[in-house]
Amino acid sequence: MKIAVVGLGAVGGLLAATLAHVGHEVSGLARGATLAAIREHGLRLTMAGAETTSAISASDDARALGPQDLVIVALKGQALAAAAQTMQALLGPNTLVMPAMNGVPWWFLQTAPVSTGLGDRSLPSVDPDDRIAALLPLERVLGCVVHLTCSSPAPGVIQHGFGDRLIVGEPGGGASMRVDSVCAALAQAGFKCEASADIRQDIWFKLWGNMTMNPVSALTGATTDHILDDPLVRAFILRTMEEAAHIGARIGCPITQSGEERMALTRQLGGFKTSMLQDTEAGRAIELDALVGAVHEIGNRFDIAMPNIGALLGLCRLMARERGLYPRPG
């Protein structure tokens, strides 16, 4: 399969390196120090105690890479609008686009059940002016949920943490040959890849678990174990999760697990720094809109009371604006 990865950071670099290692024709759209490092040293991955180097083609110009069978997008949400324009030369008549990103994707309400009663299905919090939807139409898209951790301690260098689970599905649900083919490629690369009959449910379930830990860690500087150790913070997170579960039920994504059960699973992973905390410490812009802003926007569509989600969004947004990590209004 001819595969291009847009964004060769932690997740993108992991996917590119593993897919190239098993023989797929992999290239990457990157820039700056990451592009220079990959061109000089290759894409270096440490996983399960073994180090590999993949000499993939990399460029900052999509025209140099050409049309692909599959484009994997592994960027922060706030970078997607610009990248969607940049990557147009990667898209042939049958190219699939699979975002491997956190949070609510731009297409999420487009495939919500009719029974929700939604009229306007745009999501300005993650796709202002419907720019992404126009550049990456729904018929090209596959949904993806990433259940693993990895980091990029230096440009072009990837360190796998734990987990190897990926979930792939059609935005509108159901089975398809194209989902099966992508899952087969990812399984060949060593991932536990599942074909989902309802990827929206899988996206919301992951979001329900990490939309709180990420911003709370960014606000406090605490690792996940310390967050769970504080009874007042735990209670706040549980109230926030209850509000998000209520929203999920209204859009066809019910949550059957309890907040306490999800916290117990997080506890089993030990103490770690969330991706948003890592971004905050590094002075990088945070992807608050996809993780919390979109949830707040959807809840407002149904007039759902969200005092805890609102507080979390407001506090984290203010913190990030004061540090130059989130745009100011206007």
Q: Tokens 């590999």: give the residue.
A: 52
Give how far Cα 323 sits from Cα of 209, 305, 311, 319, 328, Å.
26, 29, 18, 7, 11
Catalytic residue of the set 2, 192, 206, 273: 206
CA distance linking residue 19 with residue 68, whole number of Å: 14
Strand positions, DSSP E, 12-114: 25-29, 43-47, 50-54, 57-59, 68-73, 91-99
Q: Which residues make Cβ contacts (< 8 Å) with residue 105, sequence separation at least 6?
A: 99, 126, 141, 143, 203, 290
Q: Which residues make Cβ contacts (< 8 Å) with residue 195, sequence separation at least 6?
A: 168, 169, 175, 179, 180, 183
Integer-rounded Cα Rg, in Å, for the chain is 19
Task: Determine whether 206 is an active site residue.
Answer: yes
Q: What share of the chain is helix, strand, coil (3-state, %, to 5)?
A: 50, 20, 30
Q: Please, is 302 exposed, middle or buried when counting C-beta atoms within 10 Å of its C-beta (0-12, 13-18, 19+)?
A: middle
Question: What is the DSSP annotation of 122-151?
Answer: --TTTSGGGHHHHHS-GGGB-EEEEE--EE
In 3D space, the residue among 196, 42, 8, 178 whose CA is nearest the CA of residue 111 turns out to be 196
Tokens read off for 263: 């916290």
| Catalytically annotated residues | 206
